[in-house]
A = this chain, B = another copy of it.
């Protein structure tokens, strides 16, 4: 009778002949059922929460703002103050933003002719024939005028038509905005799971207006404060600020929402992670202006700095009758399958049993015939 309880459809028929075998298959059956049960409880219910409807594409909004001021001193000893308007770009405060930490400024460029920079390979020359008229300098700053001119005491380069003078590409050895380490980045992130009509932000709901002006994010002591010190972010990404500030870099900030809406909403909290995706990052930008004679000028800046890419991933689940029914039904089906597998093992794999089986049943059938 114990065997009859365990392996389903067949084993009872040979009960008398193969009690030992049946016990082994019964054990197999129990193990299979345990595996299915473990899969259902552990994987489907706990890890995957298979009884829930999910929304994995929330409406997401990210608003960022940097704070802090720093003074830079250029070679001619003139100092300049940088505030957020100067060092952060684009100004809109979107999910990609850039903090200047170092720069090369080339003031008052005008269109004209001047020698190409000796750092451009294609601009080097020894005589005029090296500089064919009208050809652009490959990876250079202008169009060759056909002349080879002295750039300085040691180098000759092609004369070009372009924005002159060309950029002086000697970078300061120390980051000019080293104090940017203490700047702060405020990230306001809201997710809206429209399927469940549920919306949540990463900022603490507080009545204290000075809270966001005084707190700093800390993963352990202050995880609800969305004000990040730049130095802390760089460190969390596994880099030292001084190294990254010199030549720039790119850091990815990821905000993960994994919300179980069957639980109190207070437990739906974002997780932040910081990853260094690239060393070296720079770009050039220019301000254009015109003098009183309407001649165009530009002030060129090659900016080195840290680029922050903020990405938000969200998922929310809530009990739903259809997914629950589907998960339950699949579970039942797997239980059934466990039984069938057990029977198949009995039939096919246990050859000795099969021998008895066939023999005895043929007798039975002969009797029946």
A341 touches B332 (CB 8 A): yes
Q: Which residue of the partner chain, among B13, B161, B358, contacts A71 with CB atoms under 8 Å?
A: B161
Query: Which of A168-176, A218-226, A239-247, A276-284 is the interface stretch?
Result: A276-284
Interface positions, chain A 17-36, Cβ under 8 Å from B, are 35-36
Asked whether any CB of chain B lies closer than 8 Å to the CB of A229, the reply is no
Considering the chains assembled together, what is the distance between the CA atoms of A311 and B140 in angstroms?
Answer: 29
Considering the chains assembled together, what is the distance between the CA atoms of A162 and B354 in angstroms?
Answer: 94
Query: Which of A151-159, A257-265, A343-351 is the interface stretch?
Result: A343-351
Considering the chains assembled together, what is the distance between the CA atoms of A163 and B348 in angstroms?
Answer: 87
Q: Which residue of the partner chain, among B81, B108, B333, contacts A163 with CB atoms under 8 Å?
A: B81
In angstroms, how far is the closest chain B Cβ from the Cβ of A295? 10
Given A59-B252, A340-B336, CB of A81 within 8 Å of CB of B278: no
Chain A contributes a number of interface residues (CB within 8 A of B) equal to 118
Given A69-B136, A136-B68, CB of A333 within 8 Å of CB of B329: no
B340 touches A284 (CB 8 A): no
In angstroms, how far is the closest chain B Cβ from the Cβ of A315? 10
Q: Chain B contacts of A68 at CB under 8 A?
A: 136
A347 touches B278 (CB 8 A): no
Considering the chains assembled together, what is the distance between the CA atoms of A162 and B72 in angstroms?
Answer: 12
A343 touches B16 (CB 8 A): no
In angstroms, how far is the closest chain B Cβ from the Cβ of A157? 15
- Copies of this protein in the assembly total 3
Considering the chains assembled together, what is the distance between the CA atoms of A108 and B290 in angstroms?
Answer: 10
Q: Chain B contacts of A8 at CB under 8 A?
A: 343-344, 347
A91 touches B283 (CB 8 A): yes
Considering the chains assembled together, what is the distance between the CA atoms of A338 and B339 in angstroms?
Answer: 12
Given A84-B284, A85-B284, CB of A213 within 8 Å of CB of B90: no
In angstroms, how far is the closest chain B Cβ from the Cβ of A5? 7
Instruction: Write the residues of chain A forming the contact surface with B, with a CB cutoff of 8 angstroms.
Output: 1, 4-5, 8-10, 12-13, 15-16, 35-36, 39, 43, 57, 59-61, 63, 65, 67-71, 79-81, 83-86, 89-94, 96, 98, 107-108, 111, 121, 136-137, 139-143, 161-163, 179, 188, 190, 192, 194, 199, 201, 210, 213, 250, 252, 254, 273, 275, 277-278, 281, 283-292, 294, 298-300, 307, 309, 311, 313, 322, 325-326, 329, 332-341, 343-344, 347-348, 354, 358, 360-365, 367-369
| A-B pairs with lowest CB-CB distance, top 9 | A336-B340, A333-B337, A364-B368, A61-B277, A91-B285, A336-B337, A59-B252, A81-B162, A336-B341
